[in-house]
Structure 1
């Protein structure tokens, strides 16, 4: 068995890609997208038809120019997700505009709009969709409300333990801790040397969350994300899910070296309820982690920029 096949025995493998043709080659169960991946995909010649169909759909709905652009970009996101779902048995994650990351009500409204597009335009049940939201306090509260209405959420751009705690306490369906981006920050700020996989800060962050969730019997799924190398991936073998880029999946598929399970559910479970974080406690604890503060802010800005670029492409093609 190659390493990808072995990894699938311990962990649900998810592909991190907007390229629909990549999906079937690696036979993942689920798939994730984000604004950067959608932007990259929609600029490929083979997906021009999705761009034009989305623009035509938005024009038909009518409205002012900015409304048409917004409707077209939402349709693009959902169209790519719908195409991906034809290739996988599980779920796809589609992201809410990151510029709404500090507005609970607008995030909820956008999430419901994306779900409606999936259900009405493509006949896809909401059970096959995860709504991606940045792990801000406002979006965690949005996810809490959406979960109560049967809309499952994937809280992304997760860097601090405070974010992980707040998500679990709000009964969010799934979180995506960003392994590679955490390690990048420590490499830049503390050492020019590469961390060993066992001491990799990104890997250690996910391990800490995994142990805490399992010890306290939280049901929120942990999906390690944003990997930079194979060592990081294999160090988290046994995690609930891992979302992996096509480039790293290709390497795993080409190697046959034996891998072992690294994460295990602890035997002792602590059922005693934990006092939930208040808004101010969350902000203080998150603020105590300079890496998390910087990377969350940076990630939101970058996804916001990609959303603007997607809108520019739509505008030019209208």
Structure 2
């Protein structure tokens, strides 16, 4: 018997699949082979690649899906995310293009009352809404859709594990293949250990709210598929705390000596090299990239989440890559060069960490990660609270 989640009978752009660009990692992407015929271009027609195009040959670029226009049917995205904040944005939006997603949320809210399936009836309405929208997103992205798990469960390993299993079962009832899904968990100790169990069961996980090496390495040891580091948040914390030690191997901060050391960028590089050397299964993703230079400094990383503003900055810069006027190549650069490569990781002097325990993990977090993790959990939990209030008001109005 097919599970009824209250999902609309038709799927957005049903049956349509987009050709995939070349990617450097497959944790978020579902690879499919395709052969594209390339038209021969005469020298006068061959144009140079922008920095965005050149960077895309080195890293998989994921547009920030909180920009709601990227959820509209026909979009061609590498990956998508569904979370409490995304659902709330859909409900308050006046965009007609988002109406199908709003209908899916409304249908999910009523499904428990009308469903003849024990699983659907028992599921939290918010879970049903996440799965309905997530299943629709699978039709407009060629890679994986990430479902953010309720952050209020972040410190309860058993609760996180059971919640993800339930969400996976709801997706399965809608015939969404498991290899199209990944579940986002906060990088607490409990959720990281839940990821270890889930990955062993074949359920892909993404650990986010990573602000320290200890969190990232614990996630790798757990076998997490993707580890997401918020560059902007880490940098902002150090900017607000000028007395904090930025470079543990450099001069003291109070010496007054100038330093170009960026603890946020260096954290990403450290985890990239460590992962390539000791845990190649785990892909590294960077988010919170505030500028074009941030993106270029991490060229070659598995995944880069870029805002529309940063993507526009990169698209506006031409390179000479692929350019030929039949005489010479002028202006721009020869293309974005990889900063992070497997060869770099192989040569890096990175010592392997022993298996982490919770006490050691806590001691290695450091003040930045401790403070940022607590703040991020509070913010995400508030997103869930606000969404539930909105859904309750909608339900009352309907009654």
The TM-score bracket by the shorter chain reads: 0.7 to 0.9
* Cα distance, 1:59 vs structure 2: 3.2
Question: 1:7 maps to what in 2?
Answer: 55
The count of corresponding residues between Structure 1 and Structure 2 is: 307
- Unmatched 5+ residue regions in structure 1? none
Aligned to 2:232: 180
* 1:110 is aligned to 2:163: yes
Are 1:204 and 2:301 an aligned pair? no
* Cα 1:305–1:74 shift into 2, 3 Å: same
- CA distance in 2 between counterparts of 1:71 and 1:247 reads 36
Distance verdict in 2 for CA 1:81–1:197, change over 3 Å: farther
Q: How does the TM-score come out when normalised to structure 2?
A: 0.70
Shift of 1:33: 4.1
Q: What's the C-alpha RMSD, in Å, of the aligned pairs?
A: 2.8
1:242 to 1:34, Cα distance in 2 relative to 1, 3 A: farther
Distance apart, 1:253 and its partner CA: 3.2
- How many Å separate the matches in 1 of 2:74 and 2:368? 35
Deviation at 1:233, TM superposition (A): 1.6
Q: Distance in 1 between matches of 2:138 and 2:114?
A: 25
Task: Indicate yes or no: 2:78 matched with 1:29.
Answer: yes
Could you say which residue in structure 1 is the equivalent of 2:181?
129
Deviation at 1:268, TM superposition (A): 4.4
Give the one of 54, 69, 89 matched to 2:108. Answer: 54
Higher deviation after alignment, 26-35 or 259-268: 26-35
Conserved 8 A contact 1:13-1:28: no
Cα pair distance change 1:187/1:36, threshold 3 Å:
farther
Deviations 1:234-280 (A, max 9, x none): 21110011122334334333432542211122334899975201121
Assess, with a 3 A threshold, how the Cα gap between structure 1 residues 199 and 130 changes in structure 2: closer, same or farther. Answer: same
Q: Given the alignment of the two structures, is residue 301 of structure 1 paired with residue 355 of structure 2, yes or no?
A: no
User: Which structure features the higher share of helix residues?
Assistant: 1
- Deviation, 1:18, is 4.4
Whether 1:44 and 2:108 are equivalent positions in the alignment is no
Residue 26 of structure 1: how far off its partner (Å): 7.2
Question: Once the 2 structures are TM-superposed, how far is the Cα of residue 181 of structure 1 from its aligned partner?
Answer: 0.7
Separation in 2, partners of 1:264, 1:77: 36
Matched position secondary structure for 1:223:
strand
Distance 1:202 1:299, change over 3 A: same
Q: Distance in 2 between matches of 1:161 and 1:271?
A: 12
Q: Distance in 1 between matches of 2:287 and 2:105?
A: 27
